[in-house]
């Protein structure tokens, strides 16, 4: 394929395709649904379905699937063919509006946090017409939301769509106060995706990578990332070919893959698409991850999306660049040129500062998982403390505002910026603070705490909802005000005073920040187990219920499902370690000490000094004994973990006891690796995995 402009989006039922294939009135109705959320008539849906099917069949598709995002964190799909029997024993290809709009997958085996018992397993998927359908693997994929028959949401998409709606409503209220004609605000996201590539043949020899996605053992290689030579470094041919293929596949699916480069750790890379509407970005990111993994196999590689595949070098994250755009094309986080624009920008900015301070716990838990716990606070990703970085220029402006030097509240119609204070609003914020979780980067916020394997839905649901909440409070106070400028000024000053503690422009990796943050009263939830229970804190239930994003029951269900997953992940890791230790590591150690013992005997009977072999043999025996003890400890803890009844209690046990015991086992096993000859070690080493790509 050569001409990108020609094949870009060729596998997507996008606006251009719809415009050319659908009757005018149907196309218009669909656009209205997409842009205004109006519902679609059944006959219109029938026309769209038939046209979608014809288009898909012309491109070789035989099946369709409702594509959804259950709480597993992976996407799910059930394929049905288009065939329908005819009287003469043949088939025709059919697809109705009903089939397009609603699907009924048997939902019993998806995690629901207890919301839906298996005997009432009915769930349904509903078409999300705002995210385009596409063709992959001879199948027409229809993006959908997934709910139970009783109306509880069972997926990650529905709350995201709801949060986008509520943010739009509240932001439009604020915009009206500034005289804007905008009727809708759309949140946008550009997720930067990090990943590792390892050789498939090496991968296949490591049970830990196969079962858990990360290495559970492995002594450090002599070389890691200390030379800083991989970041933006020359891309190896094999990796380059992979990236080239990846771009092509993504472009065909209408995904704006834009930037690719080597990341900090050896064998680590990044792909960033151009930003788009949040729900489309979430769908496209899920699709990107899937294609990354699939395509790697074609190149004899395996793509690791785990947050921490290797100890001792950086893990992978996903930076969530977020902003808000009006339907008139104005980016609300773009400071703008006139004083009026600037004040509007500051209003949104301060609403965000308030939101992040009030709901730091939610932002923290939106990125919580057993695997992401390895990164946060480990000086390779932002700390678990949520704070905002604004940069010195914006900070100066806020300081001026807080001390009353900002908005003149005289009689003139125009906003006037206080004379002494103001530097120009920064146009290009190149101030790169990479240690902050939530950084303003010129015309958007970059939330940097997300894990590479996670979907971006949960985080964006939370960002949208908490910002909507600030905007709602602002609008409630300002609507009907008889002196808008003064009231706005007072409100902004007061809000800033109250919430500025969450602003931190310093080094987030510095140990002193932990103490400083504690003094400021900012929460620091180190692990998933500390963070998750706050989902159902009263203030958070009130927030979500007031916007109908989640109900109390749904929040509890999500907390339970996530904590259960946490425990299960650690359980699988512990079992994998036990398996590898018993079946591979100990036997290697024993084989080596036996060989040494034999050498000792042979040398001694030949009258040769065997003190080195003796020393080595006893060292290896000691290590094997230590491994055996650690294995017994871990074994009994895994059994004991099953007795823990409550979900939270169980998760705590996994973190405090099982995980700690895993660390001890790893430490002695890694020591043994350094003591055993290369040819006796049962699986590829860190050096092999990271440097032989």
Residues lying near ligand ADP in the complex (CB under 6 A) are found at 188-190, 192, 259, 272-275, 319, 321-323, 331, 443-444, 446
Provide the CB-side half-sphere exposure for 427 (13 A, CA).
Answer: 3
* Phi, psi angle pair for 86, to nearest 5°: -110, 170
Q: Which residue has the tokens 């930037």?
A: 259
User: Among ligand ADP, Mg ion, none, what binds residue 164 when CB lies within 5 to 8 Å by partner kind?
Assistant: none
Which residues are CB-contacts of 514 (< 8 A; sequence separation ≥ 6)? 383, 385, 524
Longest dimension (CA), the chain: 107
Cβ at position 347, least distance to ligand ADP in Å: 18
> How many whole angstroms separate alpha carbon 588 and alpha carbon 595?
11
DSSP class of residue 303 equals: E
C-beta nearest to ligand ADP: residue: 190
Which residues are CB-contacts of 541 (< 8 A; sequence separation ≥ 6)? 552, 555
Cβ at position 194, least distance to ligand ADP in Å: 10
Which is closer to Mg ion, CB of 381 or CB of 503?
381
Collapsing DSSP to helix, strand or coil, 213 comes out as coil
Cβ at position 442, least distance to ligand ADP in Å: 8
Cβ at position 188, least distance to ligand ADP in Å: 4
User: Among ligand ADP, Mg ion, none, what binds residue 259 when CB lies within 5 to 8 Å by partner kind?
Assistant: ligand ADP
Cβ at position 472, least distance to ligand ADP in Å: 22
Which is closer to ligand ADP, CB of 443 or CB of 449?
443
Cβ at position 271, least distance to ligand ADP in Å: 9
Cβ at position 380, least distance to Mg ion in Å: 14
Which is closer to Mg ion, CB of 261 or CB of 405?
261
Which is closer to Mg ion, CB of 306 or CB of 318?
318
User: Among Mg ion, ligand ADP, none, what binds residue 323 when CB lies within 5 to 8 Å by partner kind?
Assistant: ligand ADP
User: Among ligand ADP, Mg ion, none, what binds residue 318 when CB lies within 5 to 8 Å by partner kind?
Assistant: none
* Phi, psi angle pair for 440, to nearest 5°: -80, 125
User: Among Mg ion, ligand ADP, none, what binds residue 190 when CB lies within 5 to 8 Å by partner kind?
Assistant: ligand ADP
> How many whole angstroms separate alpha carbon 675 and alpha carbon 308?
25
User: Among Mg ion, ligand ADP, none, what binds residue 249 when CB lies within 5 to 8 Å by partner kind?
Assistant: none
Which is closer to Mg ion, CB of 99 or CB of 270?
270
Of 540, 544, 539, 538, nearest to 465 by C-alpha is: 544
* Phi, psi angle pair for 35, to nearest 5°: -90, -30
Task: Please answer whether residues 121 and 107 qualify as being in contact, where contact means their C-beta atoms are separated by less than 8 angstroms.
Answer: yes
Which is closer to Mg ion, CB of 250 or CB of 272?
272
Radius of gyration of the chain (CA): 28
Which is closer to ligand ADP, CB of 188 or CB of 469?
188
> How many whole angstroms separate alpha carbon 257 and alpha carbon 248?
9
Which is closer to Mg ion, CB of 442 or CB of 533?
442
Provide the CB-side half-sphere exposure for 598 (13 A, CA).
Answer: 6
> How many whole angstroms separate alpha carbon 457 and alpha carbon 455?
6
Collapsing DSSP to helix, strand or coil, 146 comes out as strand
> How many whole angstroms separate alpha carbon 176 and alpha carbon 394?
25
Which is closer to Mg ion, CB of 156 or CB of 319?
319
User: Among ligand ADP, Mg ion, none, what binds residue 163 when CB lies within 5 to 8 Å by partner kind?
Assistant: none
Would the CA dihedral through 238, 241, 247, 252 be positive or negative?
A: negative
User: Among ligand ADP, Mg ion, none, what binds residue 429 when CB lies within 5 to 8 Å by partner kind?
Assistant: none
DSSP class of residue 234 equals: P
Cβ at position 444, least distance to ligand ADP in Å: 4
Which is closer to Mg ion, CB of 320 or CB of 469?
320
Which is closer to Mg ion, CB of 116 or CB of 448?
448
User: Among Mg ion, ligand ADP, none, what binds residue 189 when CB lies within 5 to 8 Å by partner kind?
Assistant: ligand ADP
Binding site for Mg ion (CB under 5 A): 192, 319
Would the CA dihedral through 580, 586, 587, 588 be positive or negative?
A: positive
Of 11, 276, 297, 295, nearest to 141 by C-alpha is: 11
Residue 366 CA, chain-centre distance (Å), reads: 9
Cβ at position 320, least distance to ligand ADP in Å: 9
Which is closer to ligand ADP, CB of 210 or CB of 274?
274
Q: How many CB atoms lie within 10 A of CB 466?
A: 27
Which is closer to ligand ADP, CB of 144 or CB of 433?
433
Cβ at position 270, least distance to Mg ion in Å: 9
User: Among Mg ion, ligand ADP, none, what binds residue 322 when CB lies within 5 to 8 Å by partner kind?
Assistant: ligand ADP
> How many whole angstroms separate alpha carbon 309 and alpha carbon 565?
18
Cβ at position 126, least distance to ligand ADP in Å: 26
User: Among ligand ADP, Mg ion, none, what binds residue 443 when CB lies within 5 to 8 Å by partner kind?
Assistant: ligand ADP
User: Among ligand ADP, Mg ion, none, what binds residue 51 when CB lies within 5 to 8 Å by partner kind?
Assistant: none
Which is closer to Mg ion, CB of 157 or CB of 319?
319
Cβ at position 449, least distance to Mg ion in Å: 12
> How many whole angstroms separate alpha carbon 396 and alpha carbon 424?
10
Planar angle of CA 131, 97, 8, nearest 5 degrees: 35
Task: Please answer whether residues 440 and 429 qualify as being in contact, where contact means their C-beta atoms are separated by less than 8 angstroms.
Answer: yes
User: Among ligand ADP, Mg ion, none, what binds residue 272 when CB lies within 5 to 8 Å by partner kind?
Assistant: ligand ADP
Cβ at position 352, least distance to ligand ADP in Å: 13
Query: Alpha helix locations (H) across 521-659?
Result: 528-531, 538-546, 552-580, 586-605, 611-641, 647-653
Structure tokens at 235: 């891309």
Would the CA dihedral through 565, 567, 573, 575 be positive or negative?
A: negative
Cβ at position 547, least distance to ligand ADP in Å: 22
Which is closer to Mg ion, CB of 275 or CB of 547?
275
User: Among ligand ADP, Mg ion, none, what binds residue 82 when CB lies within 5 to 8 Å by partner kind?
Assistant: none
C-beta nearest to Mg ion: residue: 319
> How many whole angstroms separate alpha carbon 262 and alpha carbon 272?
12
Cβ at position 510, least distance to ligand ADP in Å: 22
User: Among ligand ADP, Mg ion, none, what binds residue 180 when CB lies within 5 to 8 Å by partner kind?
Assistant: none
Which is closer to ligand ADP, CB of 331 or CB of 621?
331
Report the 3 state secondary structure along 31-91: HHHHHHCCCCCHHHHHHHHHHHHHHHHHCCCCEEEEEECECCCCCEEEEEECEEECCCCCE
Cβ at position 319, least distance to Mg ion in Å: 4
């Amino acid at each position: 394929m050569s001409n990108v402009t020609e094949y870009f989006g060729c596998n997507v039922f996008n606006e251009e395709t719809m415009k050319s294939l659908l009757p005018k009135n149907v196309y218009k109705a669909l656009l209205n649904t997409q842009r205004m959320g109006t519902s679609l008539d059944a006959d219109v849906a029938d026309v769209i379905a038939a046209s979608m099917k014809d288009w898909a069949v012309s491109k070789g598709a035989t099946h369709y699937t409702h594509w959804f995002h259950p709480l597993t964190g992976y996407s799910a799909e059930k394929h049905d063919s288009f065939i329908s029997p005819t009287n003469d024993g043949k088939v025709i290809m059919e697809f109705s509006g009903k089939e397009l709009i609603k699907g009924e997958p048997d939902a019993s085996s998806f995690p629901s946090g207890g919301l839906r018992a298996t005997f009432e397993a009915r769930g349904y998927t509903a078409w999300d017409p705002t995210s385009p359908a596409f063709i992959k693997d001879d199948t027409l994929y229809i993006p959908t939301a997934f709910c139970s028959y009783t109306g509880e949401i069972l997926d990650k998409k529905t709350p995201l769509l709801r949060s986008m709606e509520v943010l739009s409503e509240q932001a439009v209220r604020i915009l009206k106060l500034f005289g804007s004609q905008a009727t809708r605000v759309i949140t946008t996201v550009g997720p930067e995706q990090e990943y590792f590539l390892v050789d498939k043949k090496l991968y296949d020899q490591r049970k830990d990578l196969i079962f858990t996605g990360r290495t559970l053992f492995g002594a450090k290689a002599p070389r890691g990332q200390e030379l800083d030579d991989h970041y933006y470094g020359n891309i190896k041919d094999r990796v380059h070919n992979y990236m080239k293929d990846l771009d092509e596949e993504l472009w065909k699916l209408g995904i704006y893959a834009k930037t690719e480069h080597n990341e900090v750790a050896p064998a680590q890379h990044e792909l960033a698409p151009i930003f788009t509407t949040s729900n489309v970005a979430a769908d496209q990111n899920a699709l990107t991850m899937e294609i990354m993994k699939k395509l790697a196999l074609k190149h004899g590689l395996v793509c690791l999306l785990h947050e921490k595949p290797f100890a001792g070098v950086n893990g992978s994250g996903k930076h969530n660049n977020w902003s808000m755009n009006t339907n008139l094309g104005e980016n609300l986080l773009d400071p703008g040129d006139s004083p009026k624009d600037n004040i509007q920008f500051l209003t949104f900015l301060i609403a965000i500062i308030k939101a992040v301070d009030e709901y730091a716990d939610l932002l923290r838990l939106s990125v919580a998982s057993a695997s992401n716990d390895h990164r946060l606070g480990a000086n390779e990703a932002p700390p678990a403390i949520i704070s905002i970085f604004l940069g010195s220029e914006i900070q100066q402006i806020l300081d001026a505002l807080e001390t009353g030097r900002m908005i003149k509240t005289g009689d003139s119609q125009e906003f006037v910026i206080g004379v002494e204070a103001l530097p120009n609003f920064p146009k290009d914020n190149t101030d790169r603070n990479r240690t902050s979780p939530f950084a303003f980067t010129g015309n958007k916020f970059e939330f940097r705490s997300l894990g590479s394997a996670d979907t971006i839905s949960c985080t964006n649901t939370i960002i949208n909802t908490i910002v909507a909440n600030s905007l709602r409070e602002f609008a409630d106070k300002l609507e009907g005000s008889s002196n808008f400028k003064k009231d706005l000024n007072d409100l902004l000053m007061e809000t800033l005073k109250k919430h500025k503690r969450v602003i931190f422009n310093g080094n987030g990796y510095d140990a002193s920040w932990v103490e400083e943050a504690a003094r400021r009263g900012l929460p620091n939830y180190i692990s998933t187990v500390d963070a998750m229970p706050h989902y159902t804190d009263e203030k958070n239930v009130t927030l979500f219920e007031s916007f109908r994003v989640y109900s109390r029951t749904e929040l509890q269900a999500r907390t339970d499902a996530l904590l259960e997953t946490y425990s299960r992940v650690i359980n699988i890791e512990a079992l994998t370690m036990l398996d590898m230790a018993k079946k591979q590591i100990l036997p290697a150690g024993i084989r080596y000490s036996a060989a040494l013992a034999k050498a000792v005997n042979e040398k001694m009977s030949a009258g040769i000094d065997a003190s080195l072999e003796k020393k080595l043999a006893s060292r290896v025996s000691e290590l094997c004994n230590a491994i055996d003890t650690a294995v017994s400890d871990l074994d009994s803890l895994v059994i004991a973990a099953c007795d823990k009844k409550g979900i939270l209690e169980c998760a705590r046990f996994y973190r405090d006891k099982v995980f700690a015991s895993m660390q001890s086992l790893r430490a002695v096993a890694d020591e043994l690796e350094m003591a055993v000859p290369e040819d006796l070690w049962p699986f590829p080493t860190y050096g092999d995995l990271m440097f032989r790509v």
